[in-house]
Chains A and B, each alone.
Chain A
Amino acid sequence: MNDRMENLLLALPGLLLLVLAFFLPIGQMLVLSVTGPEGPLAPFVRFLSDPYYLGILWRTVRLSLLITLICGAIGFPLAYIMTKVGPRLRLWLVVMVILPLMTSVVVRTFGWMVLLSRSGLIPEMLRDMGLVGRNFALMQTETAIVIGMVQVLLPFMALSILGVLTRIDGRLEEAARTMGCSFLQTIRTVVLPLALPGIVAGSLLCFTLSASAFITPNLLGGTRIQVLAASIYKSVTATPDWPFAAAQAVILFAGIALVLVPYIKMTGARNG
């Protein structure tokens, strides 16, 4: 028996598990979306011709982009600071960043609900400071979704960037300084380009996770502000319409894949 066969044999149980647990459900979902009683493409047509559902799709994409952007804007400086401080402080910062991941999504989101509700700490404070009007509310707004999701996804962004930043030779920044770069110019011309792979990886994680997120948007956005994942859930539970739910899932899947392709191409070109 040659090496290849042996390797294949060893990998077989894992491959089988992957097929059963991963490809089979996705395949089933694909099949489901085109085998509804109304005909193969009817659920897709219904989704794409209804402004309500198109609105949900657009909101999902828009919020995911915004969340990714904010995560990057906070995650990059945070990761940069982590590389510059001593090892002890860095450990504390890492712990602080990943702490939210150690609690259940539901518990964490209820925490936000307490903080953001009409009589919660944050709106009260803003009202007391006279920054907002009496009717100001945060719960059941897109802002609430963004705040909740950024907290969840920040560690993915910050840690992806941190991994790349720690491998950049600090003398490159020093060299740039001796060649006339100010601190910010050094960040722009040296650190950012070299950290790009980490920023891309972090953005991919943030975007895909927020596009498919369900619990946090559902609890913080309420029924009025729906995202795609919540809409899928509703199609399955409220009016059991499996083909329509499957069609929405396929659209979500395709949308994310569409965003991934150029990213992967870009990083591939960089490394090749």
Chain B
Amino acid sequence: MANVRLTSIQKSFAKTAVLHSISLDIASGEFISLLGASGCGKTTLLRIVAGLESVTAGAVEIDGRDVTGLPPEKRDIAMMFQSYALLPHLSVAENVRFPLRMRGIGNREEQAERVKAALETVQLGHLSERKPRQLSGGQQQRVALARAIVSKPKVLLLDEPLSNLDARLREDMQVELIEIHQRLGLTTIFVTHDQEEALSLSDRIVLLNAGRVEQEGTPAQIYSQPATGFASNFIGSANLLPAEIFEGPDGPVARFADGQALALARTETARGAVTVALRQEDLSLSAEGNGPRAKVRTRVFLGARNRYVMSLAGQPLRALTANDLDFADGQEVSLAIDPARVRIIRD
């Protein structure tokens, strides 16, 4: 267990700046998610914490000690690679035992026991004698996960550890990760581009956008109070519509480009040109109603729910609805939303 402190980390490859002054304070035992679109610098940041990448400027501290110039093997971390990086010449069990062997943790029996326990955690106890190339992608990923957790490092770095698993196995592994984290209290940095995973697993989410921290906070904060258009679009994939707010007879009203208006909460203080963020799951649709009207373009069947893609004031608008609602393409529907759930992002 150890805290991690990143101070104004900058990283450039050749002349391209990839990370712009990232500062982060991660408490001992905290489970933090780095969330962001592909190519935003998540892996790079993780590699800097691991010591695999040098920094252009800034400092990395682990457990109160400046480790900026320290090689990875001296940092007491474990990292799970996005590409797994299993050693092809070793069996599954030998791969998982590798960090124990190299760090000299425990004697042979203790190592064997820990390897067995780690492999059972990821439900792969029966494949311990196989070579990595005899495993499926998802199985390889779980071996890599077992290898990362087996040595109980001070800091656990996971680069998209569940990206290749089916929905069921993914949920199982999420539960395991939460339990491992509660049991061992390892400081964990978890990289993902799956917002639901970040929301359900972490103590804190750091939202990265093009090498900058866009917003950080608890999952609840990030979800309910996205600070920027990027944040609200990324989390809950909200619809972003340009609008203008003015004072109506019953409180503030947002008017879209085509003149239709949406009532806002009385407490809303913003005025003038803004962006209105409407979450897909917060919108309800009906054939008759007095809300703004949008035209249905297409319906996507999602099993438990339907997604309607509509257009409002020339902008695409998506809504998640119960699957018994049935509107035809081209039909005009009325939108309704709880005014308290409308987010206003000032431009």
Contact = CB atoms under 8 A, between A and B. Distances in A.
Contacts of A175: 79, 81, 85, 87
B89 A178 contact: no
A193 B73 contact: no
A50 B98 CA distance: 54
A179 B103 contact: yes
A179 B83 contact: no
Given A179-B98, A180-B73, A181-B73, A174 B52 contact: yes
Contact of A179 (B71, B88, B89, B99): B99
Nearest to B72: A177
Given A177-B71, A178-B79, A189 B85 contact: no
Interface SS, A side = helix
A173 to B, nearest CB: 9
Interface in A179-237: 179-183, 185, 189-190, 193-194
A193 B88 CA distance: 10
Contacts of B73: 177-182
B188 interface: no
Interface residues of B, number: 22
A272 to B, nearest CB: 13
A179 B102 contact: yes
Interface string B143-159: 00001000100000000
The interface centre, meaning the residue of B75, B79, B85 with most chain A CB atoms within 10 A of its CB, is: B85
Contacts of A189: 98, 102
B119 interface: no
Contact of B88 (A181, A182, A194): A194
**Residues of A in contact with B, size category:** 10 to 19
Given A193-B89, A194-B89, A178 B102 contact: no
A91 interface: no
A169 interface: yes
Contacts of A176: 87, 98, 102
A193 B72 CA distance: 22
A88 interface: no
Contact of A177 (B52, B83, B89): B52
Among A169, A171, A178, A190, max chain B CB count under 10 A is at A178
A172 interface: yes
Nearest to A173: B85
Interface centre among A180, A182, A190 (most CB of B within 10 A): A180
Nearest to B85: A175
B50 A171 contact: no
Interface string B44-64: 000000111000000000000
B48 to A, nearest CB: 13
A194 B83 CA distance: 18
A180 B85 contact: no
A140 B263 CA distance: 102
B89 A171 contact: no
A175 B151 CA distance: 14
A178 B103 contact: no
A185 B85 contact: no
Given A171-B85, A174-B72, A179 B52 contact: no
B77 interface: yes
Interface in B76-105: 77-79, 81, 83, 85, 87-89, 98-99, 102-103
A180 B103 contact: yes
Interface string B98-131: 1100110000000000000000000000000000
Contacts of A171: 81, 83, 85
Interface string B277-308: 00000000000000000000000000000000
8 contacts: A169-B85, A175-B81, A176-B87, A177-B52, A178-B72, A178-B78, A178-B79, A183-B71
**In the A-B complex, the 3 residue pairs with the closest CB atoms:** A175-B85, A179-B99, A180-B102
Given A175-B87, A176-B102, A179-B73, 14 more contacts: A169-B85, A174-B52, A175-B79, A177-B51, A177-B52, A178-B50, A178-B52, A178-B72, A178-B75, A178-B79, A179-B78, A179-B99, A190-B87, A194-B89
